[in-house]
Chains A and B, each alone.
Chain A
Amino acid sequence: GAVVSQHPSRVICKSGTSVKIECRSLDFQATTMFWYRQFPKQSLMLMATSNEGSKATYEQGVEKDKFLINHASLTLSTLTVTSAHPEDSSFYICSARGFGQEHSPLHFGNGTRLTVT
């Protein structure tokens, strides 16, 4: 079945540094990927929609300059958390749907646990 891979699965960084998270669709092409964030005991919150070859669309309240998204190919989207602070510590999850597969299920990565010290 379709697989979405995220890397790294866990990362610890110091306050003020930047962290890049990769999301790859392994056996299908995805013109659109979605980035979510999840705090402990809470549901997933959609951060942004990543569009291949164009700018990402951010949800209300999500800072585009802090969470940089690049979707340079049909199988790779990256999320960079810039100048990370402890409050950015969270579980980041990406998802993707195959190109042209409307109403097919979204496939999710296994998430990246970010801890900012």
Chain B
Amino acid sequence: DAKTTQPTSMDCAEGRAANLPCNHSTISGNEYVYWYRQIHSQGPQYIIHGLKNNETNEMASLIITEDRKSSTLILPHATLRDTAVYYCIGDNYNQGGKLIFGQGTELSVKP
């Protein structure tokens, strides 16, 4: 499974864009990159995923570098409710689809 590296914590001002980086230099060609977040004492919430192309949905945008060794999750207008731990994970469907969580980035959105 692809190991991912994320900063331990980040701050963001409310209303500004939050850009969360992730390095996944060992990702294989058919391995998707998934982003989840976990708000305190809740189960993880799916945000977005991608393989090669940039992706956008109602929650966020995902920018994947051409060499697929890193990606950035963008929350365009962060709110206080976006304060959470954000996890970047490589898909491991070839081994049964299990997701192995790293330590994630603790994002604090401040007023």
Contact = CB atoms under 8 A, between A and B. Distances in A.
Given A49-B96, A97-B97, A106 B103 contact: no
Interface in A15-64: 32, 34, 36, 43-46, 49, 57
Interface string B62-104: 0000000000000000000000010100010100111111111
A111 B41 contact: yes
Contacts of B99: 34, 46, 95, 106
Contact of A103 (B32, B36, B101, B102): B32
Nearest to A103: B32
A93 B43 contact: yes
Contact of B43 (A32, A43, A102, A110): A110
Interface stretch (B12-20, B21-29, B44-52): B44-52
B103 A113 contact: no
Give chain B's interface secondary structure class: loop
Interface size class of B (residues with CB under 8 A): 20 to 34
Given A34-B99, A111-B41, A105 B87 contact: no
Given A43-B103, A102-B93, A109 B43 contact: yes
A108 interface: yes
Interface of B: 32, 34, 36, 38, 41-46, 49, 85, 87, 91, 93, 96-104
Given A106-B97, A107-B46, 15 more contacts: A32-B96, A34-B98, A43-B87, A45-B101, A46-B99, A49-B98, A57-B96, A91-B41, A97-B97, A102-B93, A105-B34, A105-B49, A108-B36, A110-B42, A111-B41
Interface of A: 4, 6, 32, 34, 36, 43-46, 49, 57, 91, 93, 95, 97, 102-103, 105-111, 113
24 contacts: A4-B43, A32-B96, A34-B99, A36-B101, A43-B87, A43-B103, A45-B101, A46-B99, A49-B96, A93-B43, A95-B44, A102-B93, A103-B32, A103-B91, A103-B93, A106-B46, A106-B97, A106-B99, A107-B46, A108-B36, A108-B44, A108-B46, A109-B43, A111-B41
